[in-house]
Structure 1
Amino acid sequence: MDMPLLRSRMARIAAVPGLLLALAACAAGESSSPATSSPTIATAPATASTAAPVSASASADSGLAALIQASGVKCSDASKGAGCTAGDVDSGDFYDVELSPACGEQGFFAGVAEDKGVDTLDAVPSTGSRVSTTARLSKGQLVCVQGIGRAGQNPLFYYVVAIPAATVGKCKGSALCETYGDRPISGMKEMGSEACHVAGPGYYAGNCAQGWVSADVLDLFSDGM
């Protein structure tokens, strides 16, 4: 046999084992890989920064419900604070009540103008009613008006809450807040262990002195601060 041809055949034969090993390795690699691969999506746990904040509407709903309960009024639509009355409807000795729980930028404010101060009451005095004092406010106390009790068109009673003057944005630079502000409060009926504080934009919680007062003891900030 021709020697060059013999050497060529022997070289091809020698290469066969290496080729077989390479093919075996490829086959093993393919069999170890799944036909399809489903990606795993990691879900990050909820954190304080991603949790949904309490909305302004939630604060408003909570504030309205608390006001209805504290003021003792009855409403035909409590969810909206509509159709509210205070007093004895059956005897005709009652008042139509307009509620406004917010004490923020659009709040209605006033100051106690009575020299001897005033007692706040847990209900509007009316036929057969039993009222008790919730606190005594001194002259000059700043209050937020949250309810107006009217007989016809005439406001006769106001539901007020005494709030820290420093928490009222409108007080900054206002001359009215030099005349009216934080004054001594006595005989307060406490409603928990927390001091009166801001619970949301324009809404307060804790031991805030509040109740009904006669309309003639207040200096109303009808033109705002």
Structure 2
Amino acid sequence: MARSTHLFRLLPAFRNAVAPCLLLALSACTAGESAAPAAAPVAPAKTTAPAPLAVNDRLGALIQATGVTCTDAKAAKGCTAGNVASGDFYDVELSPDCGDEGFFAGVTQGKGIDLLDVVPATGSSATTTAHLAQGQLVCVQAIGRAGQNPLYYYVAAIPADTIARCKNNALCNTYGDRPIKQMKPASSESCHAVVPGHYVGNCAQGWVSADALDVFSNGL
């Protein structure tokens, strides 16, 4: 019994000694938790409209569409169409812009013209992509030359009312929007400008003989 009595006497002292330590430890934990930085709110992701293609990207897209090869594709230098190995080829100048500084022409042939996916040359298998009627206004995006003479043009039929210089312009009274027959429409989206001079959607385009066009050498 003496040992038990002694133990009970020690318990209050033990409790008094331990309790402050426990309280101190708990307060330290609480302080540590309150000191933890709050998580910063996460801003919702912004949704932005796709940006128009940069000039280099537009050149790349045009190189692919025309089927030409270039020694410097980024700068569109040294471009040719046709069969270089056989000597049946054309030097090609590319110009993707169909805006105020663009190069335009009109279809003159009474029966209209067929647009081709590649320049006719030895070993090529050119197929018709679309048929344009007489009077159709087109933007010239590539010129295929033999020496200094333009023999083929790569053209795109774009809506005349989207061309700023067509307003009150006599040429756009002679040439404008005409019925277009597309063999394999590339898109269900109508041809339209995303920015002035840059068109997307189902724009009829392809190669055509130079003698089928009235080229506006002085621009619109």
Q: TM-score, normalised by structure 1?
A: 0.76
Given that residues 188 and 209 in structure 1 are in contact (C-alpha distance below 8 angstroms), is that contact kept between their aligned partners in structure 2? no
Hey, what's the Cα distance between the residues in 1 that align with 2:171 and 2:45? 46
Offset of residue 206 of structure 1: 1.1
**Partner secondary structure for residue 94 of structure 1:** strand
Uncovered stretches (5+) of structure 2, i.e. residues with no partner:
1-30, 32-36
Q: After the TM superposition, which segments of 4 or more aligned residues of structure 1 sit over 4 Å from their partners?
A: 40-48
**Secondary structure at the residue paired with 1:106?**
coil
Residue equivalent to 2:206: 211
Q: How many residues align?
A: 192
Provide, for residues 56-90 of structure 1, a one-character-per-residue CA deviation record: whole Å limited to 9, x for no partner: 7x432232111111110001111111110000000
> Within the alignment, does 1:177 sit opposite 2:166 as a pair?
no
Match of 1:100 in 2: 95
CA distance in 1, matches of 2:144, 2:217: 16
Deviations 1:198-224 (A, max 9, x none): 133311111110000000010111112
1:167 to 155, 162, 165: 162
Aligned match of 2:67? 72
Matches within 5 A, 1:106-121: 106-121=101-116
Q: What is the distance in 1 between the residues matched to 2:50 and 2:208?
A: 36
2:181 to 165, 181, 186: 186
**RMSD value, Cα:** 2.5
**Aligned-pair CA distance for 1:130:** 0.5
Instruction: Specify the alignment match of 1:150 in structure 2.
Output: 145
Distance 2:55 2:194 in 1: 11
1:43 Cα offset (Å): 8.6
Separation in 2, partners of 1:176, 1:112 = 12
The answer for the alignment partner of 2:192 in structure 1 is 197
Quote the sequence identity (%). Answer: 63
Under a length normalisation based on structure 2, what TM-score does the superposition of the two structures give? 0.77
2:216 matches 1:221? yes
For structure 1, list consecutive stretches of 5 or more residues without a partner in the other structure: 1-31, 33-37
